[in-house]
Amino acid sequence: MVFSTLKLGLLGLAVTEGVRVKMNSTTGWTQGTYTTGYWDCCKPSCSWPGKGHVNHPTLSCDVDGNKLQDANVASVCDGGTASSCADNKPFLVNSGLSMGFAAAAVGGVNGLNGDENCGQCYELRFTDEKHDPSGDNWGGSHPDLAGKTMVIQVTNIGYDVTGDHSFDLQIPGAGQGIFDQGCKKQFPGHQSGDFDCDNNYGGCDTKSGCSRLPKALQAGCEWRYDWYRWLAAGGQTNNPYVQFRRVQCPSQLTDISGSVPTDDASHPAINVNDYGPSPSPTPHTPTPAPAPASCTSQDKDPYSTGSEVQCCDGLQKCLGDWSGNGNWNYNCKKSCGSSLLSHKRTLGKAHQHIQK
């Protein structure tokens, strides 16, 4: 990852601003930091041995999507075969809560310290703060995002991210940054520009761009527009501000990463039900069976349902060769007429036909 100090929110770049970070030592919440997004397919920094205090390094994947237990396989961004797993994309838990993975900033005023943070989980609450409030007053959370929460696990380190920039969220389609060759190696058949709509810093502007990504990444890309509300209106969401605190890693994340901090039990656990109801599956409404006919209409077979349905008023049940192909059957007619006489003369023939 690489970030510029240019104040261009639409490009999704990190911005160096006046520091306004505050940490409450009593509650553990840090306020006044902002986030960005990226997806470069490189092997996560926390997938290497000796990072953080965890039971196992973060799992990386080979180009076929298989989890790698060997933490020493080189990155696709450095001539190897190890990459970020496609299941590291963000996902919805309920209306007020999403989960995913992120790179943590290093050496800033936000209390994050690089490799020490590998494997740790943080609760991020999106706030309604904007960038440069005394000037351009740009970006920040869309109103639909402000107040919602994302729980992330640190799987990467942003060595070039400082100041009041805290986390770089892993979001497919959000921009590859300087490492723009790894994704096409992980997903042969795609070009580099497919992974961020030819915009290395900021990525795709609209949801339609997600269709260029591999199928395995499209849901995570679409999350950026559906829940995160990227550039939905008024230049928001764009590099949203958060307040954050360390929490116990939920199994929804550690089951993916394969990595659990050794001090996890000393931090508060979250209850996903506190953030909103789980999304309900679209109920299946069975197609109602057609109501049985109350009577058989003209020129129809009263036995077509398998049992007799009386002819409608004014009609008679008549037997005849109605199709002229030698197949005799009943139809409802206004009058059997000559067919009735034919029925009487050929009843035996009809019965003989039915018995064959």
Per residue in 165-197, pLDDT (tens digit) is 899 999 999 999 999 999 999 999 999 999 999
Per residue in 134-153, pLDDT (tens digit) is 999 999 999 999 999 999 99
Asked if residue 340 and residue 205 are part of one domain, the reply reads no
Number of Cβ within a 10 Å radius of residue 51: 24
Asked whether residue 235 is assigned to any structural domain, the reply reads yes
Assess contact for 291 and 111: CB atoms under 8 A: no
Q: Tell me how far CA of residue 212 lies from CA of 148, 218, 290, 322, in angstroms.
A: 28, 8, 44, 59
CATH number, domain with residue 68: 2.40.40.10
Assess contact for 305 and 290: CB atoms under 8 A: no
Q: How many CA atoms lie within 13 A of 293 on its CB side?
A: 17
Average pLDDT over residues 18-23: 62
Asked whether residue 280 is assigned to any structural domain, the reply reads no
Assess contact for 103 and 77: CB atoms under 8 A: no
Average pLDDT over residues 1-12: 37
Asked if residue 337 and residue 207 are part of one domain, the reply reads no
273 CB-contact burial (10 Å; exposed 0-12 / middle 13-18 / buried 19+): exposed
pLDDT at 11 over 60: no
Asked if residue 207 and residue 315 are part of one domain, the reply reads no
Asked whether residue 286 is assigned to any structural domain, the reply reads no
Amino acid at 333: K
Asked if residue 151 and residue 266 are part of one domain, the reply reads yes
Asked if residue 313 and residue 234 are part of one domain, the reply reads no
Asked whether residue 242 is assigned to any structural domain, the reply reads yes
* Whole-number Å distance between alpha carbons of 170 and 269: 22
Asked if residue 183 and residue 211 are part of one domain, the reply reads yes
Asked if residue 184 and residue 327 are part of one domain, the reply reads no
Asked whether residue 283 is assigned to any structural domain, the reply reads no
Which pairing describes strands 149-158 and 91-94: parallel, antiparallel, or unpaired? unpaired
Number of Cβ within a 10 Å radius of residue 145: 21
Domain count, the chain: 2
Asked if residue 270 and residue 345 are part of one domain, the reply reads no
Last residue of a domain, one of 274, 301, 317: 274
Asked if residue 354 and residue 228 are part of one domain, the reply reads no
Average pLDDT over residues 15-35: 72
Asked whether residue 2 is assigned to any structural domain, the reply reads no
Asked whether residue 322 is assigned to any structural domain, the reply reads yes
Give the containing element (helix H, strand E) for 167.
strand 165-170
Asked if residue 240 and residue 270 are part of one domain, the reply reads yes
Asked if residue 209 and residue 112 are part of one domain, the reply reads yes
Q: Which of 164, 168, 196, 264 is catalytic?
A: 168
Look-up of token digits 């961020």: 196
Q: Tell me how far CA of residue 66 lies from CA of 61, 95, 190, 192, 325, in angstroms.
A: 5, 31, 19, 22, 64
Average pLDDT over residues 60-78: 97
pLDDT at 250 over 90: yes
Asked if residue 300 and residue 266 are part of one domain, the reply reads no
The boundaries of the domain holding residue 266 are 9-274
Q: Is 40 a catalytic residue?
A: yes
Q: Which of 40, 164, 194, 264 is catalytic?
A: 40
Last residue of a domain, one of 274, 308, 327: 274
Per residue in 79-111, pLDDT (tens digit) is 999 999 999 999 999 999 999 999 998 876 677
